[in-house]
Structure 1
Amino acid sequence: MGTKTIGLREDVYDQLKGRKRDDESFTELVDRLLEESTPDWRDGFGTLSDTEADELESLSARSRAQLGADLSDRQQGVLEELSMVDEEDDGSETA
């Protein structure tokens, strides 16, 4: 694997050096810090203001209602098509 050289301000270098363990390289340090800072999907929950939370809840409710209506319309259309197919099959069969 190749390496890259990066430039750091001296204060940032000093901070990293202070967090570096005696037995680890700077690469291992950065890798460890990145793993520790992997965002958790739960971070940020509860950070909306009451107004933002109410607006989001309202938008979600409208979206669910519209989705339900759209699915109901599609289901009704399919049922109508199936009933027409059944009627055609009933009329075309001969004994």
Structure 2
Amino acid sequence: MSTKTVELRDDVYERLAAEKREGESISDVVDRLLDDEQSDWRYSFGRMRDDAEEFERVVKEQRQRG
């Protein structure tokens, strides 16, 4: 696996380091945080503006299931 060097401000690095779990690297933290963000429905909410009908269909379908 290749690696990339990314420059971070000290305060940003400290915030990432504070999120580390036992055995995690900074790369693991970034990966986990990105996965968490993308699995949050609020992350994509604004991106569906152009497809309101599809959004309404999905909401109705979810309500019928739930």
Q: Which residue of 2 aligns with 1:40?
A: 41
TM-score norm. by structure 1 comes to 0.41
**C-alpha deviation, 1:8, in angstroms:** 0.3
Q: Which ranges of structure 2 fall in alignment gaps of 5 or more residues?
A: 47-52, 54-66
Matches within 5 A, 1:28-67: 28-38=28-38, 40=41, 43-44=45-46
Q: How many residues align?
A: 45
Q: Which residue of 2 aligns with 1:18?
A: 18
| Per-residue CA distance 1:52-91 (angstroms, 9 max, x = gap) | xxxxxxxx9xxxxxxxxxxxxxxxxxxxxxxxxxxxxxxx
Identity %: 44
CA distance in 1, matches of 2:14, 2:27: 15
Partner AA of 1:31 in structure 2: D
CA RMSD after TM alignment: 2.3
TM-score norm. by structure 2 comes to 0.58
Q: Which residue of 1 aligns with 2:2?
A: 2
Q: Which ranges of structure 1 fall in alignment gaps of 5 or more residues?
A: 45-59, 61-95
| Per-residue CA distance 1:22-63 (angstroms, 9 max, x = gap) | 21111111110000010527635xxxxxxxxxxxxxxx9xxx
Higher helix share: 2
